[in-house]
Amino acid sequence: MSDLQIGVFDSGLGGLTAVRELMQILPGENIVYFGDTARVPYGTRSRDMIRTFAKQDLRFLLEKNLKAVLVACGTISSVALPDLRGMTDVPVIGVVEPTAAAACKATRKGKIGILGTSATVKSQSYHRAIEAIDPNIEVFAQACPLFVPLVENGYLTGDLVELAAKEYIAPLQEVGVDTVILGCTHYPLLKPVLSRLFGSGVTLIDSGREAALALAETLKEQNALSSAAEGTRRYYVSDEVSNFSHIAGMFLDRNIDGETEKVTLRTDG
Ligand code: DGL
């Protein structure tokens, strides 16, 4: 049992898809979240830049007395996980492996589609993770660079989202995937539109959810779960609080204004 905190981070709002899941499955856990809203998006940046940003993000969270870290970002999980694991002794869980495992379990025809950021798709992280589980599964990936800016600006439904989504999912529909990984944690915020466009024959796998389930499993194994009935939540962002807390509040279905604070990240070293 432990009253330490779970640190969760992302480039912006996306990691909240993991936080929402964590609050449901482990309501007694104390959660501290960091969203690097001043520098989002990460997914269109170079590998080196993403690794540098990710290390600075984690350095901030490691000041908070953590018992585990959830890297609730497909992009960071794809390119920087070994760097982050080298910074701390607490478990650092990424989204790629647990999400790939869930997709392999779900597919019936052995055809999995991946929607992710440009950096995630370029890294081939999901291809490798799926191949390690079942080399016979066919994998088709599509980068969706417009999705993160849409979500960060509060466009979760409507014509703009529909237009971008139709364009991005068409190649996956053409090859007949039956399972699609929402490989960026921002994308589950667009799930109502995506699941309608894909239709009921396609199973969508939410990377934020799968990572949260994997983290819960790890804490259970380590006997590190909190004994509290209701945990505390604290959200930190690197830019304006109001934009984040407004959209986050809608998604989490609670007002988080009083729990959200702007911080300045150390960017030296
Ligand atoms: N939520 C991040 C991910 O899962 C978004 C990356 C970005 O900022 O582009 O990839």
Instruction: Tell me, using a 6 A CB cutoff, whether residue 78 lines ligand 1.
Output: no
Instruction: Tell me, using a 6 A CB cutoff, whether residue 205 lines ligand 1.
Output: no
Given the residues 112, 184, 216, 248, select the one marked as catalytic.
184
**What's the pLDDT tens digit per position in 68-78?**
999 999 999 99
Given the residues 6, 31, 73, 194, select the one marked as catalytic.
73
pLDDT at 115: 98
Token pair belonging to 10: 């992302």
Given a cut of 90, whether residue 32 has pLDDT beyond it is yes
Ligand 1: which of 10, 78, 79, 181 to mutate, most ligand atoms within 8 Å of CB?
Answer: 10
The CB density around residue 140, as the number of other CB atoms within 10 Å, is 16
Ligand 1: which of 13, 71, 75, 209 to mutate, most ligand atoms within 8 Å of CB?
Answer: 75
DSSP state of 108: S
What stretches of the chain show up as alpha helix (H) in DSSP? 16-25, 47-61, 74-85, 96-106, 118-123, 125-133, 147-152, 159-175, 191-198, 207-221, 241-252
Given a cut of 80, whether residue 3 has pLDDT beyond it is no
Q: Looking at ligand 1, which residue's alpha carbon is closest to its atom 9?
A: 43
**What's the pLDDT tens digit per position in 202-238?**
999 999 999 999 999 999 999 999 999 999 999 999 9
* CA 231 to mean position of chain CA atoms: 21
* d(C-alpha 51, C-alpha 67), whole Å: 22
The CB density around residue 125, as the number of other CB atoms within 10 Å, is 26
> Domain locations in the chain?
5-94+210-262, 96-207
Given a cut of 70, whether residue 269 has pLDDT beyond it is no
Token pair belonging to 40: 């989002």
Given a cut of 90, whether residue 127 has pLDDT beyond it is yes
Q: Residue 251 — pLDDT band, cuts 50, 70, 90?
A: confident
Given a cut of 90, whether residue 80 has pLDDT beyond it is yes
Instruction: Tell me, using a 6 A CB cutoff, whether residue 98 lines ligand 1.
Output: no
Task: Please report, for residues 55, 111, 152, 198, the alpha-carbon distance to residue 173 in angstroms, rounded to integers and kept in the order given.
Answer: 37, 11, 26, 8
- Which range, of 113-117, 188-192, 251-255, 260-264, averages the lowest pLDDT? 251-255
Q: What is the CATH number of domain 5-94+210-262?
A: 3.40.50.1860
Domains 5-94+210-262 and 96-207 alike in fold: yes
The chain-wide mean pLDDT, for the chain, equals: 96
* d(C-alpha 266, C-alpha 104), whole Å: 39
The architecture of the domain spanning 96-207 is 3-Layer(aba) Sandwich (3.40)
Tell the residue number behind the tokens 């964590």, with chain if given: 22
pLDDT at 2: 54
**What's the pLDDT tens digit per position in 129-153?**
999 999 999 999 999 999 999 999 9
Q: Residue 177 — pLDDT band, cuts 50, 70, 90?
A: very high
pTM: 0.96
- Interval between CA 98 and ligand 1 midpoint (Å): 17
Instruction: Examine the residue annotation and report whether 104 is marked as an active-site residue of this protein.
Output: no
Higher pLDDT, 43 or 2: 43
Tell me the angle at which helices 96-106 and 74-85 cross, rounded to the nearest 10 degrees. Answer: 130
Instruction: Tell me, using a 6 A CB cutoff, whether residue 152 lines ligand 1.
Output: no
Sign of CA dihedral 107, 109, 115, 119: positive
Q: Residue 13 — pLDDT band, cuts 50, 70, 90?
A: very high
CB 264 within 8 A of CB 238: yes
Instruction: Examine the residue annotation and report whether 184 is marked as an active-site residue of this protein.
Output: yes
What percentage of the chain has pLDDT greater than the value 70? 99
